[in-house]
Structure 1
Amino acid sequence: MTEKRKKPAGLQKVLAVDAYLTDAFCNWTNRFLAFRSLRTHYKILEVSCHGIPWLCGWLAFIWIWDQPSLYQMQVNLFTGLLLDIIFVAVLKAFTRRRRPAANKADMFVTVGPDKFSFPSGHASRACFVAFFFIKLWPVHFILTLPLLAWCTAVCLSRLLLRRHHILDVLGGVLLGILEGLLIGWLWLSQETSAWAISYISDERLEGGSYHV
């Protein structure tokens, strides 16, 4: 049998303080918020930023909304969503931090490394999406505040649902921003994006092998 990995004493202290502060924050917040009545809302936020609905929904959006002017946005965001899932899975498998003790086993579709806590995949995905539509493919300014509000609400809900510790969420926020910067650096051209979409919906593109 392999020996259980031991954490450095300094890291153990940091994680212990993080767990204490997370618990104190949640207890303090719940003095002002009716947690039981809001838990349904937190769960809705959880589903709204889950990887599976985002990937499936975005593929459906690419298939249904056939607009050449949107190809770059569609492909680059989808690339970022895939990278986010890969990065989060690798980091969780490496760190293997346990979720808060108060977490309930009622999460929406957990697979493999999802049982671990660091970093928060919901926080990274929410921040990446917000970064994407604010910096990389700016939406109308009217939508900016709702987008930021959703992103903030998702991050806070991860704490109030006791899914993550504070450092897990902060790590997810940082990861999401770094993913946005990476996608901005790797930004795929219109031609490359159209070529990629041709594999998803070849007969829908002018000149595709099945085009009539």
Structure 2
Amino acid sequence: MPSPRTARAANTTGSISNEKFEFMSLLTNRTSTPETPTSRPRTSDSPVHRKDSSSSQQQQLPEEDCMKLNPSFLGIALRSLLAIDLWLSKKMGVCARDGSSWGSARPLMKLVEISGHGIPWICCTIYCLYKSDSSAGREVILNLLFALLLDIILVGVVKGIVKRRRPTQNRMDMFATFSVDKYSFPSGHATRAAMVSRFMLNHLVLAVPVRILVMLWAIVISLSRVMLGRHNVTDVLFGFFMGYMQYSLVEYFWLSPNILPVLFKM
């Protein structure tokens, strides 16, 4: 019967030999079987690689995306002004609906709207030109007709380019509208009011009360566009400025009454 010391030595020797055998078998398996792609550590999963890839993606962002992520001061200012414009236009649209705060004044505002419409002005100007018997009067009326036609053309071109929709509170019940009248920028009534009022104040001999009435008419026409919900505030302001400058264009291309026989022959 073996002694306990001998048994412990034998067990120790056996465990060492077993460990050697397992290590050798593990070594032979690793050398004999090729390394599969799944056994390799994926570099994309490492945090360092993820950090590098994210930084490279940020570096490779196009300039447009960078501008969207970092908006300029000008863009923020324009958006703020647009929001103020829409808010103020909605607040001032007190006659936009019959149930608005000033809805009872809507018929009166629509009469003011017709007084600034282009068709009545063109028809009245053509009639006055036909009935005029003086050369100076024909010259003034002819250039007023030229100014009205120029206003319609320029406003239609700008509306077709900008294509800004009318305010949401607007009702499309306007008098004699055309295809471009579905757009809002600029206000054709405001351009016409500014141009006609400046034309009349410079080329017609008017008394002081009449001159004041002409200026008030231009201001009321412009305000009525916002009160009826037809236009935003910026549409009216730009339209008034545009009409004021159109008069300078009419003065530059001032027509002579000698052109009338040529027009009648055509």
Matches within 5 A, 1:83-162: 83-162=150-229
Instruction: Name which of structure 1's ranges 63-72 and 90-99 shifts more when overlaid on structure 2.
Output: 63-72
Residue 66 and residue 95 in structure 1: after superposition, are their counterparts in 2 closer, same or farther (change >3 A)? Answer: same
Gaps of 5+ in 1: 1-7, 203-212
1:41 corresponds to 2:91: no
2:138 alignment partner in structure 1: 71
Displacement, 1:38?
1.2
Give the drift of 1:26: 3.4
Paired with 1:34 and 1:19, the residues of 2 have a C-alpha distance of 18
State the secondary structure of the residue aligned to 1:106. Answer: coil
Query: Could you tell me which amino acid in structure 1 is paired with residue 118 of structure 2?
Result: G
Query: Does 1:196 pair with 2:254?
Result: no
TM value normalised by structure 1: 0.80
How many residues are matched? 188
- Percent identity over the alignment is 35
Comparing 103-112 with 12-21, greater Cα deviation is found at 12-21
Offset at 1:53?
1.3
Between stretches 106-115 and 11-20, larger displacement belongs to: 11-20
The answer to whether the Cα contact below 8 Å between 1:127 and 1:151 also exists between their aligned partners in 2 is yes
Give the letter for the 1:67 counterpart: S
- Post-superposition offset of 1:111: 0.3
Instruction: Give the AA of the match of 1:132.
Output: F
Q: Deviations over 1:176-202 (max 9, x none)?
A: 1001111122223xxx22x23335667
CA-CA distance at 1:109 after TM superposition: 1.2
Does residue 163 of the first structure (1) align with residue 226 of the second (2)?
no
RMSD: 2.4
Tell me how far 1:13 sits from its aligned partner. 4.1
CA distance in structure 1 between the partners assigned to 2:86 and 2:208 by the alignment:
37
Amino acid in structure 1 at the alignment position of 2:242: L
Distance 1:38 1:117 in 2: 22
The structure number with the bigger radius of gyration is: 2
Q: Which has the higher contact order (CA 8 A, sep 6+)?
A: 1
Kept in 2, the 8 Å contact 1:75–1:196? The answer is: no
Distance 2:115 2:259 in 1: 26
Unpaired runs of at least 5, structure 2: 1-73
Separation in 2, partners of 1:99, 1:47: 18
Question: Contact 1:63–1:200 (CA<8 Å) still a contact in 2?
Answer: no
Look up the match of 1:205: none
Name the counterpart of 1:5: none
Q: Is the Cα contact below 8 Å between 1:158 and 1:169 reproduced in 2?
A: yes
DSSP-derived class of the 1:101 partner: coil
Cα contact 2:132–2:138 (8 A) shared by 1: no
Report the Cα distance in structure 2 between the residues aligned to 1:160 and 1:81, rounded to whole angstroms.
24
Shift in Å at residue 67 of structure 1?
Answer: 2.4
